[in-house]
Structure formats: C-alpha cells, structure tokens
Chain A
Amino acid sequence: MDQVAHRRRQYAALAWLLLVAGAGLAAPYLPLPFAPAEPDLLAVGVSPAQGAGAGHWLGTDPLGRDVLAGLLFGARTLVLVTVPAALLAALLGAVLGSLAGYGRRLAAPAPAWLLGAGLGWWGLALPRPALGLAAAAGAGAWALGQWLRHRSGPVWALSLDALIQGAGALVGTVPRLVLVAAVATGGPLSLTGLGLLLVLTNWPGPARLVRAETLRVRALPFVEAARALGLPAACILRRHVLPLALRPLRADLPLRLAAFVGLESTLSFLGLGLPPDTASWGRLLDAARLDPAAWWTAAPPMLALLLTTGALLILSKK
C-alpha cells in the first residue's frame, strides 16, 4: 500500500517537473501580453484582481513587471541552466570518478612525458616556442639512445587517483554559494557561463560516488574473471565495471538538480551571477521584498520553487 502511494507521488512529481520544463521551453512561443523584463508603468504593483482586465492575470510586481511572464521565463532560465549543468556535472564526475577508481596510475617512460610537454609548449605557442621544440628533440634523442643501448630508463608515474581527489578537495573547501558568488564578482555571467561554473564547482560529488562504487565493483569476482580472460583494462572498465558503477548517479542526479535549482534562484535573489534583466524566480522574490503587502509577487514563485525541489527530492528516492 505504501509502495503504491509512493509510486503515485512519484508520478505526480514527474508530471510537475514536465510541466515546468514544458512551460519554460515553450515560454517564447506562448501568446503572452507582456515581456518579462519590461515594466508596465501604468500598472505598478497591481493585484491579480485589479490587473486581470489589463492582461496581468497574476498581477505585476512592485517594479511593474508581469508576474506570469516572470514565472514562465524564470522557468525557462531555470531549465536552460540547471538541466545541462547537472547532466554535464554527472558526466564529468563519472569520467573522473571511474578513472580515479580504476585507472589509479598514469605511467609512461620519462622521455614520453618530456616529449608531450615540449610539444604542448610549442603547440600552445607559449613564450619562446623554440624552447618546446628543443625539449621535444632532446626527449627524442634520449629515447633513441635508450633504444640503441637496449636499456629502459626511468618511468614517471602520475597517480590519477590522488590528482583527481586533490582537485575535488580543492573545489570542496569553500561552500558552493560562496565560491560561485566570488567568481561572479567579475561581472554578470551568461547562461552558459553560469552553467559551466556550476559544473566546475559540482563535479566532485558524482566523482566521489562513482569512485567509491568502482572500487567496490573492481574487487568482485566477475571483474577478476574478465582480467583472467585477458581483456584490456579499458574494455573491462567500459563493459563490466561502469554499468554497475554508474548506478548511484541515478539517485544523485535529481538531488544535484535540486541543489542547482536552489543555487540558481539564490544567486538571482542576491543579484549575483546572471545579468539583471534575466527573468528568474529568485529575481521575482527579490522584487517581492520591496512591497510586503504584495503577496501575489511572493507566493507564486515561492510555491513553484518548493514544488520543484520537493518533486526532485521525491524522484531521488527509490
């Protein structure tokens, strides 16, 4: 019985999320009488009852902007920023987490490292590109000498695990809100910029999950059997380990989305991040502070936010 109720709640949550996504994506094509960012100075802060005749079906905020248009275009901003960012963060986390959990070490002979570094220097046209070419040539000579004398030189290894975990810890030292606010200091970000910033600050979460699961799975007997059969490491990782190791991401993705929704609206509420004329639920709530009596500006975005994050939390539970 409980299971049935839970299933029903999940369908309701999914329906609400689809509604938000659909409304957001369709917002520019809907026949709305007003644009979201243009103040209607003839109707400043009118309630739904007064404004319905003039086309403001949900009233206007204290700056004269239509609440309905703000809601719909806010949903659009939310969908366009958070969904790609969450997917990309999960993808990046999966790649880095599985590498950290399975690859462990990136080992190559010393001349190969030197050759790569030299060619990279030259390719990026860093100051004095000839220096890079010289280093690459020296590395080539070194390798040739080793090969002629049938001797193997030193092997330099890079622990991917330590590298990725260190980078994750680095990003995780400061709360995401503070980090995003600090980076947004340089000026307003575009939708893509904000999305990339969210990815950059959020990949360690999924990476940690995937790494832990990879460590667990790679010790299971069937992985050992695959190794005994002589399959290459990349093949084992892709065909046998990853399908199992990615499972925690399914529960993590809705949670991550909920966190992104909260972060985006909080940033807009604080006036950081996106440019001021971008519609957002946080921006509407910010305007609601100007007039405490205007309940119609505060209630709809608040309700929409609560329903959206609540629906995502429900979806994340099995």
Chain B
Amino acid sequence: MGLHFLGRRLLNTLVALWGLGSLVFLLGRHDPAGGPEQQLLSDGTESGIGTESRDPAAMAAARQAVRHRLGLDQPLFYLSQQAPAAANGARWRWNGTANQYHHWLARLLRGELGHSLRTGQPVAGQLGAALCCTLPLTGTALALALGAALWLGQGLAGPRRWWQGPVRALLLALQSAPLFVLALGLLLLLANPQALNWFPGYGLADEELAGWNRLGELARHLALPVVSLVLAALPDLALQLEAALRHELGTDYAAAARAKGLGEAQLIRHHALPNALLPTLTQVTGLVPALLAGALVVEVVYALPGMGRLLAAAAALRDYPVVLGGVLLTGAARLGALLLADVLYHRADPRIRWTR
C-alpha cells in the first residue's frame, strides 16, 4: 500500500474533523439567549460578583462580566446578521477575526482544546481522566462481544442443533431493545433491593480496598454495564457473521473441501471464517464509536465516572468546550478505526488494491 494513499486518507480525515467540529460548534449555539453564564451564576460557581444582591442591574452587570471573561460577548462567526439593514443595504456584517469561531479554531490548531467553562480545568485533562474509566469498560465489552459473536456465529452456521432456534429468536429480540432499556432493565432486575440484589447499582469500587479485593469489587461493579454493552452489540455482529458464513458454506470451494472429507467444524474454522470475517471488520470499525456512544447511556444509568457521563453532563450544562473536545475525540477515534480497517483489509485479502 502506497504512502501516497495513506497521506491522502489522513488529509481527508483532518478535513472531515474540521468540518464536523465547525458544524457542532455553530449548530450547538443555536440559542444565544440563555447561555452557560446563567448556569454558572445560579449554581454559585461564579461567587463574589453580586450573587447575594438580587438587584437586577447588578445581576445584569455580573452576567455581562462573566460573558466577557468567557469570551461569549464576541460574535459567533465571521458573518453575523444585523437587524436593521445598514446604509449600504447589507443585511450581514463582517466581524473580522474577533469572533468566537476564529479563536476556537486558532487555539485548536495550536493543539489546545480550551478550558471547561464550569470548572476552568483544561478540557484535554478532563477527557484524559474520563478515558481512563471508559476505556476499560468499552474495551472489555468490545473483546467480549467479539469473542461471543465469533463463537455464536460459528455455532449458528454449523450443523443443526436444538439450541439454534431459541438463540436466534433471543438475538432478534435483543436487536429490538434500545441500549438504555437493556441497561435499565438489568439495573431494575439484578441491582434492586426490591427484586434481586446481586450487583451494586452505581459507582466504582471503594478507594480504600487494595489488591485482589479491589479487583473483585471492580469486576462486580462493572459486570452489569459490560453485560448491557455486550448484549447491545452482540445481535448485529453474530447474525451478520452467521449470514456471511452461510454464504461462504454454499460456495464451490466449501463443496470441494467437504468432498475431500473435511469435517464441518474444520471447514468453518479454516476455510469459511477468514473469508466471512471481512464484513465483520467493517462492523468493528463502526463499533468502536458506537461503544463510546453506548458508554454515554450506560455510564449515566450506572453512575460511573467516564467519558459518556462527562459528555452528558457537559451537554446538559452547556459546557461547550468539553462537548466539542468530546466530539472531536470521538470523531478522531472513528476515523482512526477506518484507517486501521483499510490496513487490515489489505492484510486479510491481499487482492484488494486501492486506486487513486
């Protein structure tokens, strides 16, 4: 594979990320009236400036001061609409480089994601700390879902067994359940003092525990979230793999392998599976960001600290820099996965060539 091709893909990736970030930046601020400073003033984070006095003039001044400090008093984009048409008939005003979008982009090019509007901490640090909690969760779920899908797909495509029908029906039923319903159902069934109280319902293990105890506690806390993520990702993977295997088992080379006396299990493992895995590779590249989005739901339901809860809380509190950083990170993960899939495709099937 040529370096030329990789460079081109990387360039496309960067352009896509810039476009996506801009889209979210501009669309995310569709309501300029109730900005984040309202939240800051009302929850007392921004103390000292006239929060005690209920004087409307002082409140307005405090608002203005916070807006100015956060840079929110600047126009959003290079162009802004002006209500009364100007003397020369223009309905749009050119703002020059003194606008929020320009500042954001300039800082992004220098590698800074900015600071959280609420806590004032750097966004990159916050995202990194959140990833430390999310990656074990999603990584485990991804590995388990892939393993289970490989096993189930082979079993379902293999010779007829009594359990194939019920398992297929169960997978189809799981396919229709949104992730948050799965997570909430598991929570209400298995971590509920009123029903079965087998698992803890929220949080991670205590900080005081050490060694194996802590690891066991952690596993108990992460069991339900991981299971919900696996159950949500499994049906698509397993059913798709089964269909691909069935297709491969009907081809001529499979018939030839059977004719030389190969057993069905060996035929699947050594001949059909490598060919059937190609579409699954594509699915996995889609799965990586999907698991991050899944973390958004699961971490909220099970009250785990992590990327998803950080994003959900930031979205609810209008912490724009954190949301934008999260979106960019997710997009970068997705595009990285796509690049990786291209390389893996080439490895899995050397006949695949890229033109252009």
Within 8 Å of chain B (Cβ to Cβ): is A178? Answer: yes
Instruction: For residue B317, give the distance in angstroms from its CB to the closest CB of chain A.
Output: 9
Within 8 Å of chain B (Cβ to Cβ): is A298? Answer: yes
Within 8 Å of chain A (Cβ to Cβ): is B277? Answer: no
Bound-complex Cα distance A280 to B312 (A)? 19
Interface residues on chain B, size class: 35 or more
- Which chain A residue shows the least CB distance to B334? A173
A185 touches B85 (CB 8 A): no
Which residues does chain A contribute within 8 Å of B314, judged by CB atoms? Answer: 185
Which residues does chain B contribute within 8 Å of A302, judged by CB atoms? Answer: 181, 184-185
Instruction: For residue A92, give the distance in angstroms from its CB to the closest CB of chain B.
Output: 16
A285 touches B312 (CB 8 A): no
Partner of A285, one of B184, B296, B311: B184
Within 8 Å of chain A (Cβ to Cβ): is B23? Answer: yes
Interface of B is mostly: helix
Within 8 Å of chain A (Cβ to Cβ): is B192? Answer: yes
A126 touches B90 (CB 8 A): yes
Within 8 Å of chain B (Cβ to Cβ): is A182? Answer: yes
Instruction: For residue A132, give the distance in angstroms from its CB to the closest CB of chain B.
Output: 10
Within 8 Å of chain B (Cβ to Cβ): is A288? Answer: yes
B176 touches A306 (CB 8 A): yes
Within 8 Å of chain B (Cβ to Cβ): is A169? Answer: yes
Instruction: For residue A189, give the distance in angstroms from its CB to the closest CB of chain B.
Output: 8
The answer to whether A170 and B19 touch (CB under 8 A), given A292-B193, A293-B194, is: yes
Instruction: For residue A122, give the distance in angstroms from its CB to the closest CB of chain B.
Output: 9
The answer to whether A181 and B311 touch (CB under 8 A), given A186-B31, A285-B181, is: yes
Report the stretch among A52-60, A63-71, A99-107, A268-276 that lies at the interface.
A268-276
Partner of B178, one of A129, A295, A309: A309
A181 touches B20 (CB 8 A): no
Within 8 Å of chain A (Cβ to Cβ): is B94? Answer: yes
Which residues does chain A contribute within 8 Å of B331, judged by CB atoms? Answer: 173-174
Bound-complex Cα distance A178 to B300 (A)? 14
B180 touches A313 (CB 8 A): no
Within 8 Å of chain A (Cβ to Cβ): is B175? Answer: yes
List CB contacts (< 8 Å) of B178-202 with chain A. 178-181, 184-185, 187-188, 192-195
The answer to whether A124 and B315 touch (CB under 8 A), given A177-B296, A182-B327, A183-B27, is: no
B315 touches A126 (CB 8 A): no
Instruction: For residue B111, give the distance in angstroms from its CB to the closest CB of chain A.
Output: 20
Within 8 Å of chain B (Cβ to Cβ): is A134? Answer: no
Instruction: For residue B289, give the distance in angstroms from its CB to the closest CB of chain A.
Output: 5
- Which chain B residue shows the least CB distance to A126? B92
Within 8 Å of chain A (Cβ to Cβ): is B222? Answer: no
The answer to whether A292 and B194 touch (CB under 8 A), given A181-B296, A309-B178, is: yes
Partner of A270, one of B30, B92, B312, B318: B312
A178 touches B311 (CB 8 A): yes
List CB contacts (< 8 Å) of A152-184 with chain B. 166, 169-171, 173-179, 181-184
Within 8 Å of chain A (Cβ to Cβ): is B177? Answer: yes
The answer to whether A128 and B16 touch (CB under 8 A), given A178-B330, A179-B327, is: no
Within 8 Å of chain B (Cβ to Cβ): is A10? Answer: no
B92 touches A175 (CB 8 A): no
The answer to whether A309 and B180 touch (CB under 8 A), given A178-B326, A181-B315, is: no
A292 touches B188 (CB 8 A): yes
Within 8 Å of chain A (Cβ to Cβ): is B230? Answer: no
List CB contacts (< 8 Å) of A100-153 with chain B. 124-130
Instruction: For residue A118, give the distance in angstroms from its CB to the closest CB of chain B.
Output: 15
- Which chain B residue shows the least CB distance to A317? B172
Q: A302-B185, A312-B176 are in contact. List 10 more A-B contacts (CB 8 A).
A: A128-B88, A170-B16, A174-B334, A178-B311, A182-B324, A183-B28, A185-B314, A265-B181, A270-B296, A309-B176
Interface residues of A (CB under 8 A from B): 124-130, 166, 169-171, 173-179, 181-187, 193, 258, 261-262, 265-266, 269-272, 282, 285, 288-289, 292-293, 295, 298, 302, 305-306, 309-310, 312-313
Interface residues of B (CB under 8 A from A): 16-17, 19-20, 23-24, 27-31, 34, 79, 85, 88-94, 172-173, 175-181, 184-185, 187-188, 192-195, 289-290, 292-293, 296-297, 300-301, 311-312, 314-316, 318-320, 323-324, 326-327, 330-331, 334-335
11 intermolecular pairs with C-beta atoms under 8 Å apart? A127-B90, A173-B17, A178-B289, A178-B326, A181-B315, A258-B176, A262-B178, A262-B179, A270-B296, A292-B194, A302-B184
